[in-house]
Amino acid sequence: MTSVLDLAPVLPVVVLEDAADAVPLARALVAGGLPAIEVTLRTAAAPEAIRAITFEVPGAVVGAGTVLSGGDVRTAVAAGARFLVSPGWTDQLLDAMKVSGVPFLPGVSTASEVMALLERGITEMKFFPAEAAGGTAYLKSLASPLPAARFCPTGGIGLTSAPSYLALPNVGCVGGTWMLPAEAVRTRDWARVETLAREAAALRDRP
């Protein structure tokens, strides 16, 4: 599989309370040009949502987010997740993700955490919480001493700030929720979601 970081400029971070919304939401995101979708394991509906998207939305590459334990890894993979994302990492979680057989983005927020992952041969990571942890200035400062590391910054990023992240040489994509406004999801306004997804997908083409 192509690296998750290279599938699209934006990785939508999805929290679903009702698994019945998973398929139409995913179809809207894919139609808008955002095929990679992170469904967070923050709700009981998440595994069923991942399973539904996996089997019913062929163009989607669905992964699991908020992966916190080996149990979460097993649950996500069993549901059909094609990648895993965690807000941070421990040795135990890292071992579980390594043996899962799917790509993963462990979360980091310091240079030491990045170096520890590089020592283990892991070069693709989630930078979280991006804005609170130093934003573009911090990531830019990591590019020269740690050129092997590539990131998906997530946390506090929106439409206006995303381009400055995407312009950095060590950023492959950004994670965000702005293309999934609560009102649009609540009212199942999938046309609105598709429009916002298309706007996000075009960010890579901005000067």
Nearest to 123 by CA among 135, 108, 134, 137: 108
What is the 3 state secondary structure string of 134-186? CHHHHHHHHHCCCCCCEEEEECCCCCCCHHHHHCCCCECCEEECCCCCHHHHH
Query: Per the residue annotation, which of 17, 38, 124, 131 is the catalytic one?
Result: 38
Main-chain phi, psi angles of 161, to 5 degrees: -90, -20
Contact between 12 and 180 under an 8 Å Cβ cutoff? The reply is yes
- Please name the residue that has the structure tokens 């179809």: 27
Active-site residue flag, 17 = no
Active-site residue flag, 56 = no
With a CB cutoff of 8 Å and minimum separation 6, the contacts of 98 are 104
Query: Per the residue annotation, which of 48, 126, 131, 140 is the catalytic one?
Result: 126
Contact between 200 and 162 under an 8 Å Cβ cutoff? The reply is yes
Catalytic residues: 38, 126
